[in-house]
């Protein structure tokens, strides 16, 4: 029981610390970060965002993977 209380206290401590760090980072101006560091950061953030916004995978296949199994159709009114 004491071990679980200690674990819970550590989780709370680190959660609060992470929030403080995030708040501080959010208030900073990124203009002093060199491009060679800022660009990879942007790419990493974009990847994380796309992972969160893409449809959830169902049975190992996402909607987009399943849709790619079908031939594409392009409508051209001049044809």
Would the pTM of this model clear 0.75, i.e. be above it?
no
Residue 30 · residue 38 · CB < 8 Å: yes
Residues forming a β-bridge with 58: 61
Note the pLDDT tens digit of each residue in 8-36. Answer: 999 999 999 999 998 998 898 988 889 99
Q: Where are the chain's structural domains?
A: 2-67
Q: Whole-angstrom Cα distance, residue 18 to residue 11?
A: 10
Is residue 69 over pLDDT 70? no
Residue 58 tokens read as 């169902």
Report which of 48, 49, 67, 45 is spatially closest to residue 58, judged by C-alpha positions.
67
> Could you tell me the sign of the dihedral formed by the alpha carbons of 38, 42, 43, 44, in that order?
positive
């Amino acid at each position: 029981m004491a071990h679980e209380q200690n674990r819970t206290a550590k989780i709370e401590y680190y959660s609060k610390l992470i929030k403080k760090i995030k708040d501080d980072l959010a208030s900073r101006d990124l203009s002093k970060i060199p491009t060679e560091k800022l660009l990879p950061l942007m790419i990493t953030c974009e990847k994380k965002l796309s992972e969160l916004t893409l449809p959830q995978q169902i049975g190992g296949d996402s909607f987009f993977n399943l849709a790619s199994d079908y031939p594409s159709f392009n409508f051209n009114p001049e044809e």
